[in-house]
Homo-oligomer: A and B are copies of this chain.
Amino acid sequence: MTADLADRIAAANAVGLRRLSDAEPVLARVRRAVEAIPALRDRVVLHAGPPIAAGSLCGPMRGAIVGAVVYEGWAHDLRDAETLLDRGAIALRCTHDEGAVGPMAGIISASMPLLEVRDARHGITAYAPVNEGIGAVLRFGANDDAVISRLRWLRDALAPALDAALRQTGGVPLVPLMARALTMGDEMHQRNVAATGLLFRAVAPALVERCAPGPALSQIVRFLANNDQFFLNVAMAAAKCAVGALGEIPYSTLVTAMSRNGVAFGIRVSGLGDQWFTVPAPVPTGMYFPGFTPEDANPDMGDSAIVETIGIGGMAMAASPAVVGFVGLPSMRDAIAATQSMGEITLGQSPHFKIPTMDFVGAPLGIDLRRVVKLGITPIINTGIAHRQAGKGQIGAGIVRAPLPVFQQALAAFAARYAAGVGRRAPPETVIPPARAGN
């Protein structure tokens, strides 16, 4: 690599790291998906991960899509929904292309409520669906009547109430809340107990003020109070918003997305825009719930690895002692070693997100494509494990190492694009626009 190219990369990455560091995501609203994402007007369903054809879907994602088709009323039952899907009457698009992210199957359809996270400083908006809780849920491919009914309740009861409360509070700034949750044992991928509680505390007074009292309100309060993973989707939207602020920067080697559709594992890189690089998705290693083995596991799935791009989740393993054993690590020592090793492939440390058990050192921030390939150390992603059949739900939790070949592939593309540019003048820093959400 020439010194010229190295300098351009360093300059671009410095800009990117600064944007990642000073992103100011605020949970502002809960909105109907089609209002937020006009592409959903026609029979379009968004899914997690890189784009995929209907014929290639894994079991749980297929299950979630046909569930969404029934939920929308486009089909009377699951069988009719499968027929629609198979004959191409349902268009599939990937969440990331629409400024959204969703955990596991990550399904978003027109009438679903979306969490809206805004960064006014950078002019970015990002979306995520509302977390349904645990057990039999759409995101793991469950699609029975109870699942569909819960989705309707989220849309008709919870969403308007939470939206009213958020508007009354003026929005909940997420960086300080997430920083605090890190001091409370959450890494905000596998564990969101503290962050959920802090969000609940932030919105509960306004909920009580703004909503008509009665059983509906108490059901909403109970749902928010008892769903320990509620914040996961908020953290994901915050992360999507932050990488939206980072955006497309020519010459930048910063990773802007890691995502899986249950078949392929894909990444995006700032300097390469919205191009996906993909390899087959690995099966997570970890702990299985009683009665399940890796034979039952679907390959890794979901947009949730977006949180690792902003230094939390597996990158911040040492912040979350309770997660250490849950994902199958032997001890805190290993968790600290894991977070330290992530420091080797990142370009900086978060000025906001601190690791309490490491004397509040900043979380590893800004995954550098070059370092990953050079050192052969790939990002650690904390993840849930879905059964490979639709509707069976979560069967465990563990760790996925992002596959090295996908980074090698992206670096080759980076070299192909930018080697030609050496000697020409790089776009000056000041005219690099922040990306729209969706990039």
Which A residues are within 8 Å of any B CB, using their own CB?
180, 183-186, 193-194, 197-198, 200-202, 204-205, 208-209, 212-213, 215, 217-218, 221-222, 225-226, 321-322, 325, 331-332, 356-360
Which of B185, B197, B213 contacts A183 (CB under 8 A)? Answer: B185
Given contacts A358-B332, A360-B321, contact A204 B225 (CB under 8 A): yes
Chain B CB count within 10 A is highest, among A184, A212, A213, A332, for: A184
Contact of A185 among B201, B332, B356 (CB under 8 A): B356
**Which of B197, B204, B322 is the one whose CB lies under 8 Å from A221?**
B204
Residues from chain B with Cβ under 8 Å of A357 in the complex: 321, 332, 357
A218 touches B226 (CB 8 A): no
Assembly CA distance A194 to B332 (angstroms): 21
Q: For A217, what are the chain B residues with a Cβ–Cβ distance below 8 Å?
A: 208, 213
Query: Once bound together, how far apart are the Cα atoms of A214 and B276, in whole Å?
Result: 52
Other-chain contact of A218, B205, B225, B332 (Cβ < 8 Å): B205
With A183-B322, A332-B357 as contacts: A226 and B208 at CB distance below 8 Å: no
Q: How far is the CA of A209 from the CA of B222 in the complex (A)?
A: 10
Whether the pair A208, B197 counts as a contact (CB closer than 8 A) is no
> Which 4 A-B pairs give the minimum distances between C-beta atoms?
A321-B356, A213-B213, A197-B197, A205-B222
A198 CB to closest chain B CB, in angstroms? 7
Q: Chain B contacts of A185 at CB under 8 A?
A: 183-185, 194, 356
Contact A213 B218 (CB under 8 A): no
Question: A193 CA to B356 CA in the complex, in Å?
Answer: 15
Contact present for B184 and A194 (CB under 8 Å): yes
- Cα A218 to Cα B210 in complex, Å, equals 10
Known: A185-B356, A322-B356, A357-B357. 18 other contacts (CB 8 A): A180-B193, A183-B321, A184-B184, A184-B193, A184-B194, A194-B194, A197-B197, A200-B200, A201-B225, A202-B225, A205-B218, A205-B222, A205-B225, A208-B213, A208-B218, A321-B357, A332-B357, A332-B358
Q: Which residue of B lies closest to A211 (CB)?
A: B213
A151 vs chain B, min Cβ distance (A): 21
On chain B, the residues within 8 Å of A325 by CB distance are 360
A268 to B: closest C-beta gap in Å: 34
A216 to chain B, nearest CB (A): 10
Bound: A337/B193 CA distance, A: 28
Inter-chain contact B356/A331, CB cutoff 8 Å: no
A229–chain B nearest beta-carbon distance, Å: 14
Query: Which chain B residue has the least Cβ–Cβ distance from A198?
Result: B197
Chain B nearest CB from A391 CB (Å) reads: 29
CA distance A211 to B212 in the complex (A): 13
Whose C-beta in chain B lies nearest to the C-beta of A319?
B321
11 residue pairs A–B, Cβ–Cβ below 8 Å: A183-B185, A184-B184, A197-B197, A201-B225, A201-B226, A202-B225, A204-B221, A204-B225, A208-B208, A208-B221, A321-B356
